[in-house]
Structure 1
Amino acid sequence: MIDYRDAVPGDGPELAAMARACFTETFGTLYSSENLATFLHQVFGPNGLPSQISDPDFTIRLATDAGRIVGFAKLGPNALPFPQADDANAVELYQLYVSSSHHGDGVGPALLDWAIATARGQGADTLALSVYVDNHRAKAFYARRGFVDVGRYDFPVGDQIDEDRLMVLAL
């Protein structure tokens, strides 16, 4: 049975390990070992995701199975340059990761429902995210929930720049 709860500081090491594993499994073959290592350290190292658990600007929701983290979603202040970003009261969905062992178990939809409700509860009028251009499964998932592709975003992984698509949902 999947349980959902907010992350606490003690979750940092396990959450970072789960996030690194998900990113590497999904995208690891796209990058040199140096670029991948740089990205994983910057985003999921001690000064990245684990430190954001205690940061009041971020909210992180976990999905657990038998006490083990199998998914998470992270919300925070919008940093994406989507059209009309300056006029929107936007929240950014930085990550929504689900372990491949739990794809199809409803974890992704439950975490996205939480993200949408939380953004609305914070008074946001827009939920924004970026998704890798060739991650067709994720793009379709967000489109089914009403997100609209509004343009290109250059996403750095080490010194490699990938094309992401900016997607927004009017709340």
Structure 2
Amino acid sequence: MTPTLRDATVADAGLLVTIGTETFTDTFGHLYHPDDLAAFLAKFTVAAWEEELSDPRFHVVLAMAGDDAVGYAKLGPPSLPFEPTGKPIELRQFYLRRQAQGTGLAATLMEHMLAKARATGADELFLSVFIDNHRARRFYERYGFERVGTYAFMVGNHRDEDDVMRVAL
């Protein structure tokens, strides 16, 4: 079945918690002490998602394979430590479940999010990526993202180094 994209609604808050928890744990869970991972994941609640999904500054898109959500991406107001040169927006999350990776869905989702970012009036898009997530960094570089700095990404009490990347829209 060909995946489709649709805007997430407040009713999708629980689903987004599930996908985010699953994909983060599958990709990075082995790097952290269980207490640090649990503290990090505890921030992603239905209530927090409902708040963002009700806020017009956020744009969340679900990737659907039939009735199954296989990923999502979220744009929101800037939160990363960077020096914007224009009107920025941030790609805050970009997650695909394992079964959707390598299918071309990531490209479809990224192109959609770039168009959505442009439609907000933003002229630059920022994101962060774990420095050792080489596959993701190569993917973002294919879309013109360039490293503009680093910052400390905290998972519980564990400090990771993330690259901050930017692309002009």
Give the TM-score of the pair, scaled to structure 1: 0.94
Tell me the CA shift for residue 50 of structure 1: 4.2
- Tell me how far apart the structure 1 counterparts of residues 12 and 29 of structure 2 sit (CA, whole Å): 24
Q: Do the aligned partners of 1:60 and 1:73 also contact (CA within 8 Å) in 2?
A: yes
Corresponding residue number in structure 2 for 1:12: 13
1:94-116 deviation per Cα after TM superposition (whole angstroms, max 9, x unaligned): 00001111111121111111111
Identical amino acids, percent of aligned pairs = 43
Corresponding residue of 2:69: 69
For the Cα contact (< 8 Å) 1:16–1:50, is it kept in 2? Answer: no
1:14-29 aligned within 5 A: 14-29=15-30
Q: Distance in 2 between matches of 1:50 and 1:70?
A: 20
Partner SS state of residue 46, structure 2: coil
Superposed, which structure 2 residues align to 1:81-160 within 5 Å?
81-82=81-82, 84-85=83-84, 87-160=85-158
Structure 1 unaligned blocks of 5 or more: none
Partner AA of 1:31 in structure 2: Y
| Conserved? CA contact 2:59–2:74, under 8 Å | yes
Q: 1: CA distance between counterparts of 2:46 and 2:39?
A: 13
Consecutive aligned runs of 4 or more in structure 1 exceeding 2 Å deviation:
46-51
Following the alignment from structure 1 to structure 2, what is the Cα–Cα distance between the partners of residues 101 and 78? 30
Contact 2:72 2:94 in 1 (8 A): yes
Amino acid aligned to 1:157 = V
Please give the root-mean-square deviation of Cα atoms over the aligned residues, in Å.
1.1
Aligned partner of 2:45 in structure 1 is: 45
Aligned length: 168
What are structure 2's unaligned runs of at least 5 residues? none
Task: Give the direction of change, closer, same or farther, for the CA distance of 1:48–1:142 in structure 2 (3 Å limit).
Answer: same
The 3 A distance-change label for structure 1 pair 19 and 167 is: same
Deviations, residues 57-79 of structure 1 (Å, cap 9, x unaligned): 21100101121110111000111
In 2, distance between residues paired with 1:17 and 1:50?
14
Give, in whole Å, the separation in 1 of the partners of 2:4 and 2:41.
26
In structure 1, what is the Cα distance between the partners aligned to 2:70 and 2:14?
Answer: 14
Hey, what's the Cα distance between the residues in 2 that align with 1:101 and 1:168? 28
Counterpart residue type for residue 61 of structure 1 = V
